[in-house]
Amino acid sequence: MPDLCRGDPWDAKNWPPAGGFAEVLAHINKNASYNSIVADMRATQTFLKAEGSQHFGVIGFCWGGMMAAKLAAEPDLNLEAFVAAHPAGIPLDVAAGAKCPLLLLPAKDDPKETFDEVFRVVSAIHPSSKQVRFDDAHHGFLAACAEFNNELLAKRANEGIREMHDFFVARLGKSD
């Protein structure tokens, strides 16, 4: 997995940011513009193909969910599946450009109507897409805000991990 933030990720302890989410995006875009992400993904695929890999998918958490959706629209990446876990937002025109199925894993803080519509758009094109809502888990429960010391949230995170595993195995082939 490439380090898209080049060793300078947002510090999860600085949440919520004083300057709002725009402050987080400015920090991320300093190192992880979409153009640099696409270049990193192309380089990663070139490396993995040289190692014998033939099938590719991508996972995006929060803001990364939109990046995953945009990558799913890149014709030369030939992604076969993408996951958006507790996504921050995916514009419908971006969702409509996806060239592969989506696993959408929104949390209770992720607007149901918004992500139901994103799912509707992608699943109309890719019927093997799937949505699993986690309405008793907070945004970030699968990533930086995971709470594995909380029994319910640990259970939900493990369910989300299992959903991602099963989705990728079904679309990319059997895992070792």
What is the SS3 assignment for 116?
helix
Q: What are phi and psi of 62, to 5 degrees?
A: 55, -120
CA–CA dist 36, 18 (Å, integer): 27
All structural domains of the chain with their residue ranges: 54-172
What is the structure's pLDDT at 14?
A: 85
Please return the burial class of 127, using the count of CB atoms within 10 Å of its CB with bins 0-12, 13-18 and 19+.
exposed
According to CATH, the topology of domain 54-172 is Rossmann fold (3.40.50)
pTM: 0.91
CA–CA dist 38, 174 (Å, integer): 26
First to last CA, the chain: 18
Distance of CA 28 to the CA centre of its chain: 15
CA–CA dist 5, 10 (Å, integer): 9
Write the pLDDT tens digit of every residue in 13-47: 887 889 888 898 898 888 888 999 999 999 999 99
Contact 46, 67 (CB under 8 A): no
What is the structure's pLDDT at 162?
A: 98
What is the structure's pLDDT at 1?
A: 74
Q: Residue ranges of the chain with pLDDT lower than 50? A: none
